[in-house]
Amino acid sequence: MPTLSLPFLGHGGDYNPDQWLSRPDILEEDVRLMQKAGCNLMSVGIFSWAALEPEEGVYTFDWLEGVLNRLHAAGISVFLATPSGARPSWMSQKYPEVLRVRPDGGRNLHGGRHNHCFTSPVYREKVAKINEALARRFGHHPSVVGWHISNELSGECHCEMCQQAFRSFLKDRYGDLDALNAAWWTGFWSKTFTDWNQIHSPTPQGEDALLGLTLAWRRFVTHQTVDFVKAEMEPLRRLTPDLPVTTNLMCCFGGFDYQTLAHQIDFTSYDSYPGWGVGPDEKNAAEAAFNYDYMRCLKNRPFALMESTPSQVNWHDICKLKKPGMHLLSSLQAVAHGADTVQYFQWRQSRGGAEKFHGAVVSHEGSENTRTFHDVAEVGETLKKLQDVRGRMPAPKVAILYDQENRWALDRSEGPRRDKKYLETVIRHYAALKRRGVDVDVIDETCDLSSYALVDAPLLYMLRPGAAERLTRFVEQGGVLTATCMTGRVDEEDLCFLGGFPGPLRPLFGIWAEETDALTDSECNGARMEDGSVYDTHYYCDLIHAETARVLGTYASDFYAGAPCVTENEYGRGLAVYVASLPGDELLDHLFSRLLSRAGVKPLVPDLPRGVWAASRGEYLFLMNFSGREQCLSVPDGTELLSGRAVRGTVSLPATGAAVIRLTSC
Amino acid sequence: MPTLSLPFLGHGGDYNPDQWLSRPDILEEDVRLMQKAGCNLMSVGIFSWAALEPEEGVYTFDWLEGVLNRLHAAGISVFLATPSGARPSWMSQKYPEVLRVRPDGGRNLHGGRHNHCFTSPVYREKVAKINEALARRFGHHPSVVGWHISNELSGECHCEMCQQAFRSFLKDRYGDLDALNAAWWTGFWSKTFTDWNQIHSPTPQGEDALLGLTLAWRRFVTHQTVDFVKAEMEPLRRLTPDLPVTTNLMCCFGGFDYQTLAHQIDFTSYDSYPGWGVGPDEKNAAEAAFNYDYMRCLKNRPFALMESTPSQVNWHDICKLKKPGMHLLSSLQAVAHGADTVQYFQWRQSRGGAEKFHGAVVSHEGSENTRTFHDVAEVGETLKKLQDVRGRMPAPKVAILYDQENRWALDRSEGPRRDKKYLETVIRHYAALKRRGVDVDVIDETCDLSSYALVDAPLLYMLRPGAAERLTRFVEQGGVLTATCMTGRVDEEDLCFLGGFPGPLRPLFGIWAEETDALTDSECNGARMEDGSVYDTHYYCDLIHAETARVLGTYASDFYAGAPCVTENEYGRGLAVYVASLPGDELLDHLFSRLLSRAGVKPLVPDLPRGVWAASRGEYLFLMNFSGREQCLSVPDGTELLSGRAVRGTVSLPATGAAVIRLTSC
Amino acid sequence: MPTLSLPFLGHGGDYNPDQWLSRPDILEEDVRLMQKAGCNLMSVGIFSWAALEPEEGVYTFDWLEGVLNRLHAAGISVFLATPSGARPSWMSQKYPEVLRVRPDGGRNLHGGRHNHCFTSPVYREKVAKINEALARRFGHHPSVVGWHISNELSGECHCEMCQQAFRSFLKDRYGDLDALNAAWWTGFWSKTFTDWNQIHSPTPQGEDALLGLTLAWRRFVTHQTVDFVKAEMEPLRRLTPDLPVTTNLMCCFGGFDYQTLAHQIDFTSYDSYPGWGVGPDEKNAAEAAFNYDYMRCLKNRPFALMESTPSQVNWHDICKLKKPGMHLLSSLQAVAHGADTVQYFQWRQSRGGAEKFHGAVVSHEGSENTRTFHDVAEVGETLKKLQDVRGRMPAPKVAILYDQENRWALDRSEGPRRDKKYLETVIRHYAALKRRGVDVDVIDETCDLSSYALVDAPLLYMLRPGAAERLTRFVEQGGVLTATCMTGRVDEEDLCFLGGFPGPLRPLFGIWAEETDALTDSECNGARMEDGSVYDTHYYCDLIHAETARVLGTYASDFYAGAPCVTENEYGRGLAVYVASLPGDELLDHLFSRLLSRAGVKPLVPDLPRGVWAASRGEYLFLMNFSGREQCLSVPDGTELLSGRAVRGTVSLPATGAAVIRLTSC
């Protein structure tokens, strides 16, 4: 399989010249400005179907050839997009089947973007044809270095073809209705299915309280989306076997499982839009970093930062400008966590349309004389200094377990509180690990654990097949595993484990969780540790019995004050720690500090100040200051690449500043 | 008519063995655990239609016979359920007419529970057939002591058959369109109907601003639901004339009128799910007690607590565990207010499905070694000590008037404030009466008042036929009547009384309410009483003229400061008190204290501490401590049944504790 | 064209005797009470279609003739309504096409009011026929002084006939699809239209992210509504060419463009429902006054206050009674700002229906012995003293620019903040101008500016054709123009100006707005003025470059502290002021004080106390005290008409009091 392998760190963005075909002067000016901004990589053709096939079967590719030629002449490479993110109007008009059907059974009209049925044979055929034509015409154009499939895949369709495909998927998964009925526990409320055609996708107008069905539907949406992507790629794989393929993914997206998709594409790419300046930037930085590490781990390779804004977005409630320095810092953050490109949406602001006020390298004003353009050119300059980072990867000894199927099951499960806090908790735990100054992988339940010394698995409600065994083996062989309340409740079908929670992990943690209390958002309990200190805990309180585990902390209040709250269980050569509630930041800091030490994991930098982030790629150490004020750090010796200066012992970072140190010895 | 007449206080719960037919070991274990928990009464077959008739016309009753036989052998009685709360999938597939149509005209898909048209001839036929089959096979089984019809009846259907039934209902009610047009005041906004087929159920997609139509629709939904229940019962009445029939009712439900339903069933039963621990438990206790007294009064007989949770629910936003003692206390509260059973949903937690985390006697863990199981067994033990309470009733001299039709009309009426606060106000008034230590009946406008000394009728906006006459006669004959702002505005068709509010009650209260001001939720006014003390009042301020009434208090602020706020009118041998605003708790305490004294009503216990509740059944006095701390009370002499000890003068209640005293003289 | 020209200041209200035809005693009593209340003008027949044409083609007009005769005999004039605000039920039943289709494609059922398709040929025919019949029968009745068309026109229909009419409208506007595609920037997201039939009205179920389409749809809704009004008026114009026509308009309505409608009708009329007593009345007064001035300016003539409440409304969340004095004060406020009538909804409270609790002159009680009736009679008496005000107009030198198309475009545009604050900002600026004691016109971008000395144009995001030229010429010729952030971003198609904002106004203001930051609702920045004082600013911050402008104030905080925030640019003989953020009240007061002085505009009254409003009509000066406490003012000499007393130098206004001074010299 090919992979992303550029001769440079990529810099550029979505380039939509089809909006400006009537302005050849602007098309020329674009290339001049790209060179001036240090751009070397453009994504071309996203959403261009109407310009590429204005009527059915009539392909008008010449303008695109002109664009590719001009870019190539200027030394700029291209991710060539397939245009399937939006259909031309004529297609919806002639073939209404390509349009999505809503959960209420109504078929959408043409509009928006996406909004197509992934099952529709007509849509698949039209996509395959234009992809084939693009691959034949441009697949070997010297500017093209990769395929950009569709755009931000999402959504689902409830049409009759999708219902049939769903039933086929279920037949494959369960074999017969008895197995399906058992898995979905349909005996409750008389939901037993006696004919496959009785099964319909979940909808508020029909069945939406059967979690087995809902989970199966989410798995089907994953399956069908990935199947569509495979069909999209077929002509590309056939005609351009050496070109790597990606599709751009989204922040915290939960509509289908990215891990499943990742197996089909050659490299991941990501669209990053933190709300810098709205809320604390330390929190914004944590969410961004978590997603970068998630992207890096999906294929365990560097990824492309496919979209970001050089200025502000236009679709947040409050769209702040990036403060001076923030564009460089936030771009370096992506690189620090594994990005081999820094790309923008979009190159030039649209005059009209839904995103006309979205930040772009070239504004409506049109010149290079803007703060944003200068910021972009500065990133271009900086990336040139960091070329050798390309392709490097960290080697984390620490992983956090974030599982999409667990998220679906937990979030949709009823009780003991409505708002489950899963994603928020995972990111909070991730940030606490990063505060310890270590590199962190983001993995799911299907991943191999053998390379890690510590794995944190908050709210691991659902244990998918093999997960309990992998976690147990991990600890047996010396790993440190941390878990929280609500662990080990259900199997992959959301059937509760009988015999006492955390189900198959009961021996590993050496505890039995008999009950789980819920706290309101404004309540807290606390863990009173052996030394008498008390740390806040939140949201849930498992009432646990320590069976083989040792009690490290007890509840501080409520009727279960004094009962075990934090336990550890020596198991094989490792340690399994159970926090029966959800720990606040202070307890996380306390526990991770102690447990990373026990696991033998050393920080990249000692005593990292709050708000400063560290990440490594090979011998390159990135230090990023989101704290809002100047910080001085102890660091290993090396060369700081932005300044080109040698570093001995300490480095000083201005507010919103960064350093990239090539370490002398790593 | 038969009635609930058990040889014991019932203890048990919903038992759904059809979820576990593949686990005969569990079915055996169930019976052992029931005996261990002191259970003697199970509800069987709720939602079991798919297991009882897996394909059309094929009844598979053997498993149920096995269950009944096992229970009978263990000395456990059964409420046998009809399965109509949910249909099997095959029925919706073959007969789509059984599915509900939404107000927007779309027909639901199969799913959820309920979701059937109460008018559908097919559904009625299928229900009648399986009910007949169940009655023939099990109606004389020695374990069966009553019928449990369907489950938590609710909802409505807007299909064409329901529209026709609605029009027939209207023809019966109004005779001709002229009468209907006059009653609904259709001259406003040109809504005059000139053909019955122009009338459609209220819907946001059509007519939803015609209150006469909306009220008629709610009355039709009541009519049609009760008609469906009568059809359900027909085979049961015919084949098992001696078995009492119930259907389980819900907290604060407003979808149809329970009083109308109550006339058809033999005893009421109630599903009680207070949010103990979320918000002040004194308020939770008030809402629970109000509903229990409502249930008791619906048929003026003891009722069944058909469902409650031994632990936590799973469908509240925040589902707290019951604190130690709370399960016994809350179960005794139901008994204190007239329950002859304490039953749970459900016996054993489901492995899957929407309510898998709902508390149950037997948890997923499966053993008797849980806090919950012990709590349940304690209730079982305690109920044995209270056997003689069975069938006893209190004889309240005080009633609060809560009327479902008044609620519909007031809540949906526009002005002078959006949020009418009806149910909240009624419960707040009820709680104030209970703080005076008296037994209280909950009645509606159709009830006979002759047994009461004091009737409180807050927000009595709509006067149904005969109500004004009954209230007037009640006062004439010596009763004390209390009312508030917004009294006597409309007749049963929501037509305003002409000639000055409170309409036909103007002579009784001796006042004219000229205008009504609205306060925001955070504003208050006050009543300045003759002694100069000022008490807060809320939400509405009637501007009244005292005609024959005496002014007890005047408004404390706003431009009508000094105008009458509290008045009393001697009328016949009684007294009619009008509070022109909504009194806060302090004013309620002040007024009820004075008026109960005037009415000659003695408290069960003097000087009841705040948070302690008292209720009686015959010579049995229940004292329940929801105050959160220990309390000492002066009580009459008797024997305390939980401890078996004699009581002389005082009793001490621990926090979350209770006492049941058989009084020496009553 | 005829216009509103009454021989008196009108006083009266909506009179709906068709609700009371069965009560001839009440119809007689009405006339007696009208005379007692000083009423001389009733609006009759609104929503009376069912009473006028109870079955198709059968007109029953005799009752209406009786009403008109009775009113005429009592000296009361009539605005005769066309009944098209609601259809009779038989029409919807026989011709479903008259019912609206929702954006989701479903057709409404009969219900509500309005709810008819403005395109439907059947509906237009039925309206024309009954209007013709009314005009023939009553158009020359001596009581009738004007036509009241329909009622509070609003809404839209998405039926297939409307889709076709929309496409025709688009063809007229754009000529061909190339022009349309260019105008709507359909190249973005592949939205290019290649067939007119691909275009559908905006809907969440199809296209709703294409702002060009959305704007065109709003313009079409304006076009089609006005076209419907023209069709309504055809028989009236033909048969009663001398009777003026109006239709009643609504507060802050944004569904279609009132300015376009105003060109078709003879006088404007307005329904005013401030929430007096909820929130500060100074703010309520500002919103009311703004709307009055908007109504006055729509045709630059006195308008009718067609509806108001003499007491409380019933459809606000909290419906307060009017405090003593407020009914007179609020009625005088309308007159002060150009109303030649004070009318109410409605004369007599309905017994039933959606608005039965809406305030009315005659309450359900039915007599003249109510506070409300006395308040109304007082207004009647007062209006008699002000007869000479009739027809007079102010001559404002100041205008505020409020543009409906700008509102649509700005509010629906994405970025840089979701909540654009347009209408709120305009009213806040208007109130600041009024605090300076000047008369203010409310105009839109199409209006002539030559009569003004100062024009304020906040948030002038969209520059419609000719607007930039008019504004530039206005300043060239000596005017003072004030603008804010977000000015000059797009043309009439919402296409961004290229070459630097504020687009064609860049030379006029002498600035370039490079970027725009967004603030959260709770954040603020500030303008530090040359004298060092700092004034709060809000919501947006343009980062501007002063090109030819002089910097008056700089930003006080954020990374652009010190950058220009307030600038002025001498241009021709005038001055163009740009505030790069949204100024708070203090900055508005500071700027307007200085700029009105520069523009040579004198206040009506010097040093107006906060909360007191001044407005003039010819030589009549109105002073209105909404401050909540007594105020003493310096005023010119004249005669105070309410008291009949001469005024020399000062006047004292009680809280909620007013004065109307006929100035000795004006």
d(CA C3, CA C341): 14
d(CA A276, CA A279): 8
Output the CA torsion C74→C76→C81→C87 (10° steps).
-40
Asked if A466 has any chain C CB less than 8 Å from its own CB, the reply is no
Residue B102 burial by CB count (10 A; 0-12/13-18/19+): exposed, middle or buried?
Answer: middle
In angstroms, the Cα distances linking B395 to B293, B398, B615, C311, C387 are 12, 9, 11, 47, 71
Confidence at residue B115, expressed as pLDDT on a 0 to 100 scale: 87
Asked if C102 has any chain A CB less than 8 Å from its own CB, the reply is no
What are the sequence ranges of the domains in chain B?
A: 398-599, 612-663
Does the domain at A398-599 match CATH 3.40.50.880? Answer given as: yes
Structure tokens at C607: 């040093």
d(CA A115, CA A101): 9
Asked if B512 has any chain C CB less than 8 Å from its own CB, the reply is yes
Residue B156 has pLDDT above 90, yes or no: yes
Asked if C387 has any chain B CB less than 8 Å from its own CB, the reply is no
Region B124-132: mean pLDDT is 98
The percentage of residues in chain B with a pLDDT greater than 70, rounded to a whole number, is 100
d(CA A66, CA A72): 10
Confidence at residue C112, expressed as pLDDT on a 0 to 100 scale: 87
pLDDT classification of A666: cutoffs 50, 70, 90 = low
Asked if C412 has any chain A CB less than 8 Å from its own CB, the reply is no
Helix (H, G, I), strand (E, B) or coil at A493: coil
Asked if C103 has any chain B CB less than 8 Å from its own CB, the reply is no
Confidence at residue C353, expressed as pLDDT on a 0 to 100 scale: 92
Structure tokens at C284: 């309520």
Contact B414 C357 (CB under 8 A): yes
Q: How many CB atoms lie within 10 A of CB A529?
A: 18
* Residues of C with catalytic function: 152, 307
Q: Are C417 and C540 in contact (CB under 8 A)?
A: yes
| Structure ipTM | 0.96
pLDDT in tens, C404-433: 999 999 999 999 999 999 999 999 999 999
d(CA B385, CA B147): 27
Residue, of B115 and B39, whose pLDDT is higher: B39
Region A152-177: mean pLDDT is 98
Region A81-106: mean pLDDT is 96
CA distance B297 to chain C (A): 33
Q: How many CB atoms lie within 10 A of CB A634?
A: 11
Contact B512 C365 (CB under 8 A): yes
d(CA C289, CA C329): 12
Angle at B585 between CA B579 and CA B586, to 5 degrees: 85
Confidence at residue B407, expressed as pLDDT on a 0 to 100 scale: 98
Please name the residues between 224 and 263 in chain C that touch chain A, using a CB distance below 8 Å: none
Contact B108 A415 (CB under 8 A): no
CA distance C497 to chain A (A): 7
CA distance C82 to chain B (A): 13
Region B624-652: mean pLDDT is 96
Confidence at residue B5, expressed as pLDDT on a 0 to 100 scale: 85
Q: How many CB atoms lie within 10 A of CB C382?
A: 21
pLDDT in tens, B210-229: 999 999 999 999 999 999 99
d(CA B205, CA C108): 5
Confidence at residue C666, expressed as pLDDT on a 0 to 100 scale: 52
* Residues of B with catalytic function: 152, 307
pLDDT in tens, A503-533: 999 999 999 999 999 999 999 999 999 999 9
Instruction: Find tokens 């500043």 and name the residue.
Output: A657
Mutant choice from B205, B514, B543, B560 vs C, greatest count of C C-beta within 10 A: B205
d(CA B16, CA B14): 6
Query: In this complex, which chains have at least 3 CB pairs below 8 Å with chain B?
Result: A, C
Structure tokens at B329: 């206390």
Asked if B209 has any chain C CB less than 8 Å from its own CB, the reply is yes
pLDDT in tens, A53-76: 999 999 999 999 999 999 999 999
pLDDT in tens, A458-507: 999 999 999 999 999 999 999 999 999 999 999 999 999 999 999 999 99
Instruction: Find tokens 């702040």 and name the residue.
Output: A320
d(CA B76, CA B380): 13
Asked if C357 has any chain B CB less than 8 Å from its own CB, the reply is yes
Instruction: List, in sequence order, every beta strand (DSSP E) within B369-431.
Output: 398-401
Output the CA torsion B413→B415→B416→B418 (10° steps).
80
CB–CB contacts below 8 A, A to B: 178
Pick from B22, B51, B324: CB nearest A559? B324
Among C29, C7, C8, which residue's Cα sits nearest to residue C17?
C29
pLDDT in tens, B407-454: 999 999 999 999 999 999 999 999 999 999 999 999 999 999 999 999
Contact B89 A195 (CB under 8 A): yes
Does the domain at A612-663 match CATH 3.40.50.10860? Answer given as: no
d(CA A153, CA A230): 13
Contact B185 C19 (CB under 8 A): yes
* Chain C residues touching A21 at Cβ < 8 A: 187
Residue A21 has pLDDT above 80, yes or no: yes
Average pLDDT, chain B: 97
Please name the residues between 121 and 150 in chain B that touch chain C, using a CB distance below 8 Å: none
* Chain A residues touching C195 at Cβ < 8 A: 89-90, 93
* Chain A residues touching B67 at Cβ < 8 A: none
Q: Are B87 and B79 in contact (CB under 8 A)?
A: no
Region A177-189: mean pLDDT is 96
Mutant choice from B20, B25, B84, B89 vs A, greatest count of A C-beta within 10 A: B89
pLDDT in tens, B355-402: 999 999 999 999 999 999 999 999 999 999 999 999 999 999 999 999
Contact B211 C354 (CB under 8 A): yes
Asked if C178 has any chain A CB less than 8 Å from its own CB, the reply is no
Residue A551 has pLDDT above 80, yes or no: yes
Asked if B186 has any chain C CB less than 8 Å from its own CB, the reply is yes
Average pLDDT, chain A: 97
Contact B206 C83 (CB under 8 A): no
Asked if C357 has any chain A CB less than 8 Å from its own CB, the reply is no
In angstroms, the Cα distances linking C655 to A204, C624, C644 are 56, 9, 20
In angstroms, the Cα distances linking A385 to A378, A388, A661, B105 are 11, 8, 11, 65
Tell which CATH classification among 3.20.20.80, 3.40.50.1000, 3.50.50.60, 3.40.930.10 matches the domain C10-160+225-388: 3.20.20.80
Asked if B354 has any chain A CB less than 8 Å from its own CB, the reply is yes
Task: Report residues of chain C scoring pLDDT below 70.
Answer: 666
Q: Up-side HSE of residue A205: CA atoms within 13 Å toward CB? A: 17
Residue A593 burial by CB count (10 A; 0-12/13-18/19+): exposed, middle or buried?
Answer: middle
What one-character DSSP code corresponds to residue A496? B
Among B353, B352, B350, C485, which residue's Cα sits nearest to residue B361?
B350
Q: Which of A152, A234, A381, A619 is catalytic?
A: A152
CA distance B152 to chain A (A): 13
Asked if C522 has any chain A CB less than 8 Å from its own CB, the reply is no
* Chain A residues touching B309 at Cβ < 8 A: none
Pick from C87, C350, C363: CB nearest B185? C350
Residue A108 has pLDDT above 60, yes or no: yes
Confidence at residue B112, expressed as pLDDT on a 0 to 100 scale: 87
Helix (H, G, I), strand (E, B) or coil at C576: strand
Pick from C55, C352, C357: CB nearest B495? C352
Q: Up-side HSE of residue A659: CA atoms within 13 Å toward CB? A: 30
In angstroms, the Cα distances linking B102 to A108, B89, B109, B204 are 20, 19, 11, 11
Q: How far is CA B357 from the centre of its chain?
A: 25
pLDDT in tens, C552-604: 999 999 999 999 999 999 999 999 999 999 999 999 999 999 999 999 999 99
CA distance A457 to chain C (A): 36
d(CA B26, CA A267): 51
Model pTM above 0.80: yes
Confidence at residue A541, expressed as pLDDT on a 0 to 100 scale: 98
pLDDT in tens, A201-241: 999 999 999 999 999 999 999 999 999 999 999 999 999 99
Task: Clarify whether A405 is annotated catalytic.
Answer: no
Mutant choice from B49, B349, B351 vs A, greatest count of A C-beta within 10 A: B351
pLDDT classification of B666: cutoffs 50, 70, 90 = low
d(CA A307, CA A148): 12
Among A460, A434, A467, A462, which residue's Cα sits nearest to residue A616?
A434
CA distance A411 to chain B (A): 13
d(CA B566, CA B585): 15
d(CA B39, CA B35): 6
d(CA A443, CA A449): 9
